[in-house]
Amino acid sequence: MRRKRRELEIFSLYFLDGMCCAFGAVIMLLLITKAAEPRIIEQAKVDERGLIAALQKELFEIRGEASELDRRMKSAQGDRQRADATIARLQADLGRIRGQYAASRQPAVDTELEGQLRATRQRLTEEMRRLLADYRPPKDEATVGGIPVDSEYIIFVIDTSGSMFQGPWQLVMRKISEVLRVYPRIRGIQVMSDEGKYMFPSYTGKWIPDSPTARQQILSTLANWNPYSDSSPVEGIAEAISTFYEPGKPVSIYVFGDDFPSGQVEAVARYVERINKADASGHRLMRIHGVGFPTQFAGGRMGNGLRFANLMRTLCERNGGTFVALTTLN
């Protein structure tokens, strides 16, 4: 018996044909997309390089402008500093000229100031020096020009500020030489600034043995000795007392100065009294003498000069010494 042939399902063939076309289209799209992607990425890279280059160029330009502005600012600051220095110099010159003009219209020293600063000067004749070299009177009677010469050790505390070093420095050296001549024979000498800085660092905290050679070395070194100074003798006095006091050693401190710009006189005097203690008889550990130079009056700063005179007069009175005020720089 003949078998029946299967009927062809036309719908199934169409369906498969459509599916194949759809898959083919998808594959074509994928191929087209993959082929264009490298070109898009390359173009993006090119755009980024251009942007970076532009930004770098702008950065360099900004840095250049900043450097130029910084240079101009520093130049302006330098001009201002030079202008300030010129103004300060002109003001100083004006003050000096005013002081000279005022001094030319008045006596050499105002009567009131002369009364405040007048004291005995040390002026020894050759005969007095000769007698003093061979004669050592009792300690309670040994005075020259009002200053006791009973000490065996001497400490100079010297104001080395500009008003002293650039002014009466030759007079300072002459007065120190006179003081040394008042003491023809002593056991030790020391020289320090009002800040407590030693003239000879190798003798820090030690006495310089007295000899003609040592005295000459002190005077020759003093000619160019100019350490920093704040014009206050407090530090030098404190260093001298705390370092060199020994029981049984009579020591005299000589303070040379012209100016006391800051600080309270009474407060300084009390501080010195605390370190320069008195014994049961009222005698201090060391005598404190002072020599004042009238540089501040010519410069128009009378207040500072009077403060120094008042300070040293107070210190000398309370510490067994004498204050000698020079009324002229000649």
Supply the DSSP symbol for 5. Answer: P
Tokens standing for 118? 């007048």
Q: What is the pLDDT of residue 91?
A: 74
The hierarchical CATH code for the domain 111-325 is 3.40.50.410
Q: What is the pLDDT of residue 299?
A: 56
Domain ranges, ordered by start, for the chain: 16-105, 111-325
Q: What is the pLDDT of residue 121?
A: 31
Q: What's the whole-model pTM score?
A: 0.57
d(CA 47, CA 54): 11
Q: What is the pLDDT of residue 217?
A: 94
Q: What is the pLDDT of residue 190?
A: 96
Q: What is the pLDDT of residue 207?
A: 95
d(CA 84, CA 56): 42
Q: What is the pLDDT of residue 42?
A: 63
Instruction: Answer whether 329's CB lies under 8 Å from 174's CB.
Output: no
d(CA 154, CA 210): 10
The series of mean pLDDT values per 10 residues for the chain, 330 residues long, is: 52 68 75 60 68 82 84 82 79 69 48 40 40 46 56 93 87 90 89 94 94 94 91 92 91 92 86 89 89 76 82 92 82
Q: What is the pLDDT of residue 123?
A: 34
